[in-house]
Structure 1
Amino acid sequence: MVLNDTTFDYLYEFYGNSAKWFAIYALIASLFTIISNAFFITLTLTTPSLRKNVVNWFLLGFSLSDLLHCTAHVADAYALWYGSTDNRQLCAVAGLFVISTATCSFGFPALIAAERYYKVSTISQSAG
């Protein structure tokens, strides 16, 4: 099936009919995640009793990295909707945002796990 819209042709060939629907889904899921993370960050930073709890600062770090990553997915949804083979810069920039923020989003827990492993493995054994 050939479409007249040249912007959508390459997406249709690669994804089929679901390309535009996936862009809508990616936008809605990203906006939901951005709003929920922004709500958690605002609530944590504005409530004195929540700021005192150390675990909330740990969760705040996760929320910030997730907020950045989902903001990049908004650009990804925009690129899926408006990208074309004639203008590949939009898709390249969106892909760069997603990849660079994914390292932050997925790297944050990995760095914490590595730091905790290092602390546990370097504890001096007491003679006893």
Structure 2
Amino acid sequence: MFAIVRFGDCIDLVDEKGTLMNLSKVEDPASDYASKYLQGRQHYILIRVVREENSEATLYESLLEDLEKHYPDLPDQLQQLSGKTERTDQKKDSLEMAQPHNSTQARNKTTLQRKRSLEFKNTLK
């Protein structure tokens, strides 16, 4: 299991329950210990935080391959996090309007991420 993180990517962590740690919002992370934000002996999943241009929408993408296999509920949690941000920032009126768009967008980005990962792995062989 490995993830591709590109220079300039904004990353963060979520716990197994899908709770966002908001490390990407820490002003000076080099001056603090991780224990200030994270609990010992817990599992955290690395995610990419994608802030959409021309809107305040934020998409949270897992960087763990086969996320569904290890944490079956987490893809839905990430989708809900992404939906909450978009609905709050764009002041969507209903949950039904936001979910299909987020679902399709998250699925397309996950598919693209998997393709890139496979291409990268193939270049290493």
TM-score by length of 2: 0.32
Greater strand share, structure number = 2
Larger relative contact order (C-alpha < 8 A, sep ≥ 6)?
1
Larger radius of gyration: 1
**If each structure's helix is expressed as a fraction of its own residues, which one has the higher value?**
1
